[in-house]
Amino acid sequence: MAKLDIGEAKTTLLKEWFEGQAEIIAQDWDTFGTPEVQDLPHKSCDGFHCRINGGFQIRGWSSLYAAEGSGCIPKAIEPYLESAHRDAFNDWKAEAFGGPQRRSTDRLRRSQDTIEDITWDDLDEGEQEAASEYEWEYLNEGGDFWFVIRATFYAADNFRNESGEDEVHFLAGVNTDFTHGRDKGLEIDFSHNVPVAKLDAAILHTIAFDISQRLGQ
């Protein structure tokens, strides 16, 4: 695909907008450093068939552990974090109460409870502390995710073009492909097309506001 030339002034405007968004992502969501503005490819190579005409993106890296610690938790991550806490607590209970030599198995026999029935409130202070430490270690073992903001260029003759004019497709979301960060894990919270002819600072300001609202903060 040929690279779409949107003009020097609009290119500068868009890159500066992305630099500003990178700083906002780093500040509002406490990512691991400020993400860099990346050029999107427009050429096919080595089995990769490019169907776009260039563009820009930023990818802000975070993790379940970091999000929990900072309190900066986007809406898309909430169910994954809840699931991770539940799985970690169940794993801890299996280790703490599952073996015949465990101190608390007598209490289980007296109460006729099963391990699955034990709740956080059933634990004594020492057990709660141990379970909490286990959960933090569990979260720290994986669960990387990425905040993605992207502006993809589509020339007027690109089969993905929707307006019949040269256009920029903006999207933003959270990538929950926790292992590799591939696009199949991208949960899109914002999507909007803007003809290049109408791209200006006012539209970018509106898009930035909408993205901040959609991401959950």
Tell me whether residue 14 is exposed, middle or buried, using C-beta atoms within 10 angstroms of its C-beta: 0 to 12, 13 to 18, 19 or more: buried
Strand order, beta sheet including 186-195: 38-39, 55-63, 144-154, 167-175, 186-195
Reported as a single tens digit per residue, the pLDDT across 48-70 is: 678 999 999 999 999 999 998 88
Please list the residues that pair with 170 across neighbouring strands: 151, 192
- Predicted pLDDT at 146: 93
- Predicted pLDDT at 110: 45
Query: Please, what is the angle between helix 8-29 and helix 201-215, to 10°?
Result: 20
Reported as a single tens digit per residue, the pLDDT across 20-48 is: 999 999 998 989 999 999 999 888 777 66
- Predicted pLDDT at 12: 97
* Residue 146 host element (H or E): strand 144-154
Backbone angles phi, psi at 170, to 5 degrees: -95, 140
- Predicted pLDDT at 109: 47
Strands (E), 3-143: 38-39, 55-63
Domain boundaries, the chain: 8-67+144-215, 75-140
Backbone angles phi, psi at 39, to 5 degrees: -80, 135
Reported residue count of the chain is 217
Count CB-CB contacts under 10 A for residue 189.
Answer: 20
